[in-house]
Amino acid sequence: MASILRGKLNESRLLHVMAAHSPLSAKLAEETGFDGIWASGFELSALYGLPDLSFISMTQHLDMVRAMSGFTHLPIVADIDTGFGNAINVTHAIAEYERAGAAAVVIEDKTFPKVSSLAITGRQELLRIEEFQGKISAALATRRDPNFVVIARTEALIAGLGEAEALKRAAAYEAAGADMILIHSKQNTPDEVESFVRAWSGDAPIVIVPTAYPEMNEGRISALGKIRMVIYGNHAIRASVTAMKDVFARIRRDGGIHTVNKDIVPVEEIFRLQGMDRVKLVEKQFLR
């Protein structure tokens, strides 16, 4: 899958990557036409009913990446937060995620344990630049496939350190060998990110996650010319919660499923997504 993602990046077009938290959500993203899957730590934390505070273990996240990899043909960009520790932990993580079928990882320059970037208040502490460069170097030295993409994410804007610090860190991470730079912001307009992108003079392509500033659409992104990947970071879990809350409330209000049933997919659609047709073929061929 790493070579597929690398090939897409070489096409010089904007890649649209959708968050997923399960094989089923990954399959739906594939059928909708996205270029890749974002194996979101935030979404998996929410699936377990936990805050995004490094409570989900590497093993739990890896198990989901492995399950999604076996269910979709799209390359998976794994959100590994801070790399689960220092540079030594990163070497272990990279080997495991590559083995699990991921095509790329995103590592952020926060301290461990992290606090969700979009939290209104909370600790947003960053590592020393040199220490994070070491993590990038560790990732690059560990990957077996040179097509495996290592994306360095700077949280300088999230931490309120300003554009100059974000540019300084991005340049240092590119110098350490990062394939791409992810710049993140929790402002509710794209101004901060657009300013960073315009000021960026490096060669590494930019990745953005416009969760907080949803008006940053494809046309606006493409006009900047340096962004190669946009990640829709938590829309799968938010859409799931929206739909379930609505359906559950209607069932309680109506005293049954008699009105809501026509508005949700039939069981046959779930069978299709589960691959029941393939099971029937196998039964016919081998059960004797």
Residues annotated as part of the active site: 52
The structure tokens listed for 147 are: 């097509």
The bridge status of strand 149-154 relative to strand 104-108 is parallel
Contact 233, 42 (CB under 8 A): yes
E strand intervals along the chain: 15-20, 36-39, 76-79, 104-108, 149-154, 180-183, 206-208, 227-232
- At CA 78, angle to CA 72 and CA 84, rounded to 5? 145
| Distance in angstroms (rounded) separating the CA atoms of residues 158 and 117 | 6
E strand intervals along 22-87: 36-39, 76-79
Handedness of CA 245, 246, 248, 252 (dihedral sign): positive
What b-and-e string marks burial along 85-98, b requiring 16 or more CB atoms within 10 Å of the CB?
Answer: eebebbbebbebbb
CA atoms within 13 A on the CB side of 104: 30
